[in-house]
Structure 1
């Protein structure tokens, strides 16, 4: 029986699995992990509801705004609690944030709502904690009015300058400024595409072999899913996983960049939920090392049970959905997982 069948798996056992994954490199990492765990219109609200700071189109929301904030409520075991119906799709006139976050917030920490994606910013690590996207055929379609090359990486004015990352942080570091919400997913307007270049949407990523290659392949894969779906929801973020040192103990070790101490993640996750025109749901969950990966390694090698990502990140992902509602998980019939 596969280990994730036993939902009561101990923290020690989980750390053991994560350390196996974290200790491996490139193709070896992939194999070990596979086998071990295998709206253009600007929204308007009353100033008493939220505050847009400085000149950025970033809305910072208090918890009271949301009618459903599942991550701040009592945790429910999604493997046991059964929900018979999928949460109704918000109307086209609903605020964009309610459309994006249809299935619940993973957390409520320093949330920023932009025009076409939502993020939670980690003020200590100076990178996103998570970024949430709602992809549709319109949002990813080629748009001659949108030119990525005219976008520029820029600081997020809604983040206090104590905790802001800057362009200097990645300069000469050997790392790329890696998008969590990909620019190619947000082509409704030039302004929306430009928002994906906020540094609050970036985390340092290995360039050749990862950000420009295997991670880009994963982003393209998500856009392909849109052509087969009514809605695609994606949650993306960094991870910092333990590795076993020479003394046999587990440690979390990561590099920080320059004076702002921007953290370099050891791994990244992306969990994607697709909804077909008929309402059927499927999920794919990926965990990838922040390292160069051989082009020959297939994306499916990085499939992991979503529980692995949740435990490692401390986030509840799509917890308004029950596993029984998915027709497919990581490409397999859910009943067999």
Structure 2
């Protein structure tokens, strides 16, 4: 694993972004986010929220065919590349009532190393159990099914949205998101859409929103150099 420490530049893993260009953030951060590169995904991590700002993947048929036979490890860990004051720990989630919700799903990982890395807490956020295990799991499966049918690479960016003063869990005060989103961009067709769901156990998956609407809601220009067809 490699890291561009203290930077939001993904110089060592541009392959996870369409056009090798990471999202443009139209907001400032009290503490600069960290760019973390893993084998099969990239994380822009916030030391303030102790969660990702977003997580990026590049999916395609070959990768997902390899992922089908990979055994899930369930070995969560705190990423040692982050200072202790900047990261979530396993104890933060214990007894919290929230799942450690993957942003880059374990089911997308093509081999044992990628699978193990996907259990980094830098790839997690507090998610209500039924939400994580039912509608969100359904969104992840639908995304994989689409990428398996696609003619080329599909770029997926997943992340949280907070409102007001977020609820926190654990001694490290890990922020609990109000909403979750998953952007899907087919680089072959130029089409993009986003799944948007509230982070509670009553939420249900609904019709995807447009790329323009996702940008409006998040303040992030995910595909700034791409021609996007909603």
**What TM bracket, shorter-length normalisation?**
0.7 to 0.9
Residues of 2 paired with 1:177 and 1:132: CA distance?
Answer: 18
Residues of 1 paired with 2:103 and 2:8: CA distance?
Answer: 23
Does residue 304 of structure 1 match 2:227? no
Partner of 1:58: 2
Residues of 2 paired with 1:306 and 1:143: CA distance?
Answer: 27
Using the TM superposition, give the Cα deviation of residue 304 of structure 1 relative to its aligned residue in structure 2, in angstroms: 2.0
Residues of 1 paired with 2:85 and 2:4: CA distance?
Answer: 17
Residues of 1 paired with 2:169 and 2:185: CA distance?
Answer: 33
CA distance change for structure 1 residues 146 and 303 in 2, over 3 Å: closer, same or farther? closer
Using the TM superposition, give the Cα deviation of residue 268 of structure 1 relative to its aligned residue in structure 2, in angstroms: 0.6
**Higher relative strand content:** 2
Partner of 2:30: none
CA distance change for structure 1 residues 65 and 120 in 2, over 3 Å: closer, same or farther? closer
Gaps of 5+ in 2: 26-32
Using the TM superposition, give the Cα deviation of residue 314 of structure 1 relative to its aligned residue in structure 2, in angstroms: 2.6
Partner of 2:77: 154
Does residue 316 of structure 1 match 2:225? no
Q: Which one has the largest radius of gyration?
A: 1
Between 132-141 and 216-225, the greater mean CA deviation after superposition: 132-141
Residue deviations 1:20-40, cap 9 Å, x none? xxxxxxxxxxxxxxxxxxxxx
Partner of 1:99: 15
- 1:125-204 matches, within 5 Å, as 125-142=49-66, 146-148=70-72, 150-187=73-110, 189-204=111-126
Partner of 1:288: 197
CA distance change for structure 1 residues 107 and 194 in 2, over 3 Å: closer, same or farther? farther
Are the aligned partners of 1:151 and 1:193 in contact in 2 as well (CA < 8 Å)? Answer: no
Residues of 1 paired with 2:34 and 2:116: CA distance?
Answer: 21
Moved over 4 A (4+): 61-66, 142-145
Residues of 2 paired with 1:254 and 1:98: CA distance?
Answer: 31
Residues of 2 paired with 1:155 and 1:65: CA distance?
Answer: 21
Residue deviations 1:66-125, cap 9 Å, x none? 5xxxxxxxxxxxxxxxxxxxxxxxxxxxx7x23212332114831111111111001000
Are the aligned partners of 1:145 and 1:190 in contact in 2 as well (CA < 8 Å)? Answer: no
Residues of 1 paired with 2:183 and 2:144: CA distance?
Answer: 13
Residues of 1 paired with 2:71 and 2:36: CA distance?
Answer: 24
Residues of 2 paired with 1:163 and 1:119: CA distance?
Answer: 14
Residues of 1 paired with 2:173 and 2:194: CA distance?
Answer: 29
- Alpha-carbon RMSD across the aligned residues, in angstroms, is 2.1
Are the aligned partners of 2:101 and 2:126 in contact in 1 as well (CA < 8 Å)? Answer: yes
Residues of 2 paired with 1:257 and 1:196: CA distance?
Answer: 21
Are the aligned partners of 2:67 and 2:109 in contact in 1 as well (CA < 8 Å)? Answer: no
- 1:248-263 matches, within 5 Å, as 252-263=164-175
